[in-house]
Structure 1
Amino acid sequence: MQNAYFVTSSIAGGKSSFIKIVQNLGFATLSADVIAHELLNENANSIVKLFNSDDLLVARKIDRKKLGAIVFNDLNAKKKLENFLHPKIKEVILQKAQILDQKNKAFFIELPLFFENNHYQNLGKSILIYTPKEILLQRLMQRDSLDESEALKRLHLQLDIEEKLKKADFVIKNISSYKNFEKNVLNFLKHTLKV
């Protein structure tokens, strides 16, 4: 897909902020997280069976906090959920992306695990929102009210940000204020997409 840009980072790196900025400029976007949340609820009963845990269900929806507590503390559980969800997420993303691609205008797909799995390589260009690990750690602790060891555990579940840096087609730095980040995004759009 020649118009697809996959936006990735580490947890708390600024993917959602990037998406908000480009949406405000009129670009179409897709979010793997939003799609995943929809699929979690659509497949709630299957997920309860998968983990043999009825208390994951609250008002016929998956309690994401409880599910997170399971998968962030058990690699096998994480793998089990990914094996169930990822093919479904990819199917929805590809259907929607192919429709957007036909409009012949750049669009952005927020995909946290772009480099961690090989499902999306060669389907578009990758944009890494780069934030050094120390800043990621501080932001994650603050955002999700986590202690340092819990925040580190979540960071370590993803490929190291420096490794992602080596693989990305484009890099946008998010290392200080939101204002500076916004400026970096606008510069990227101007120089790369000529908008």
Structure 2
Amino acid sequence: MKNAFFVTASIACGKSSFIKIANSMGFKSISADKIAHQILDSFSKELIEIFSPFNTDKLNLINDHKIDRKNLGKIIFSNPQAKKILEDFTHPKIRIKILEQMQILEQENKPFFIEIPLFFESGAYKNLGKVILIYTSKELSLKRLMQRDNLNKEEALKRINALMDIEKKVSLADFVITNESSYEIFQKKSIKFIEKLSKETNEIL
């Protein structure tokens, strides 16, 4: 789709910040994470049964009638088999919802953004649009993740190492925006990039 731009990265690199900036400029977006959260909550009872054999620490997977994503994360990031089971269960459902929303936004003939953390890992959206990578070094994303989610180093590394290496993603992306200093600098970079992107897309149209 000519108006579709996928936004991806590693963890704690600034994907959500980029999307918020784009939204504040009047551009629409789709969030794979939000869709995933809705699916997790919709299938909460089924997921508890699926992951009960992996829940050796007897973690509480339900909080206020919704999936406790932090506790589920402890299970899947400690067990590759559990992680694959979750991905096999949720990814096809997420893809259907994303494609439905993409088809609607494509009709507007204006750039829109799809935030997908596992864009390269899943391979499910290849050739559907251009890819924007928000780049932060592994060392800095580790530090940010520990601070943001109150994780120890071991827990944070499990989450980062479960993803494709950020340096490999650089070579696969169509565009790269670095985010290694202040939010203000990243915001200026993002606005400049989006303005240029919008102008070029309008010229093509």
Smaller-chain TM-score range?
over 0.9
Q: Quick one: distance in 2 between partners of 1:56 and 1:151?
A: 20
RMSD after superposition: 1.4
> Over residues 24-70 of structure 1, what are the superposed CA-to-partner deviations in whole Å (9 max), with x where a residue is unaligned?
11110110000000110111121112113694233332111221111
In the alignment, structure 1 residue 179 sits paired with structure 2 residue 179: no
In the alignment, structure 1 residue 74 sits paired with structure 2 residue 46: no
In the alignment, structure 1 residue 143 sits paired with structure 2 residue 141: no
In the alignment, structure 1 residue 98 sits paired with structure 2 residue 82: no
1:2, distance to aligned residue in structure 2 (A): 1.1
In the alignment, structure 1 residue 15 sits paired with structure 2 residue 15: yes
Structure 2 equivalent of residue 30 of structure 1: 30
Amino acid corresponding to residue 51 of structure 1 in structure 2: F
Structure 2 equivalent of residue 56 of structure 1: 61
Q: TM-score, normalization: structure 1? A: 0.96
Structure 2 equivalent of residue 115 of structure 1: 120
Share of identical aligned residues, percent? 54
Q: Quick one: distance in 2 between partners of 1:139 and 1:57?
A: 27
Amino acid corresponding to residue 3 of structure 1 in structure 2: N
In the alignment, structure 1 residue 47 sits paired with structure 2 residue 44: no
Q: Quick one: distance in 1 between partners of 2:175 and 2:117?
A: 15
- SS, match of residue 140 in structure 1: helix
Q: TM-score, normalization: structure 2? A: 0.91
Aligned length: 195
- SS, match of residue 117 in structure 2: coil
Q: Quick one: distance in 2 between partners of 1:127 and 1:136?
A: 17
Amino acid corresponding to residue 133 of structure 2 in structure 1: L
Query: Paired residue for 1:191, among 163, 187, 196?
Result: 196
> Over residues 159-187 of structure 1, what are the superposed CA-to-partner deviations in whole Å (9 max), with x where a residue is unaligned?
01100000000111111000000111012
1:7, distance to aligned residue in structure 2 (A): 0.2
1:126, distance to aligned residue in structure 2 (A): 0.3
Note the residue ranges of structure 2 that are not aligned, 5 or more in a row: 201-205
Note the residue ranges of structure 1 that are not aligned, 5 or more in a row: none
Runs of 4+ in structure 1 off by over 2 angstroms are 52-55, 57-60, 190-193
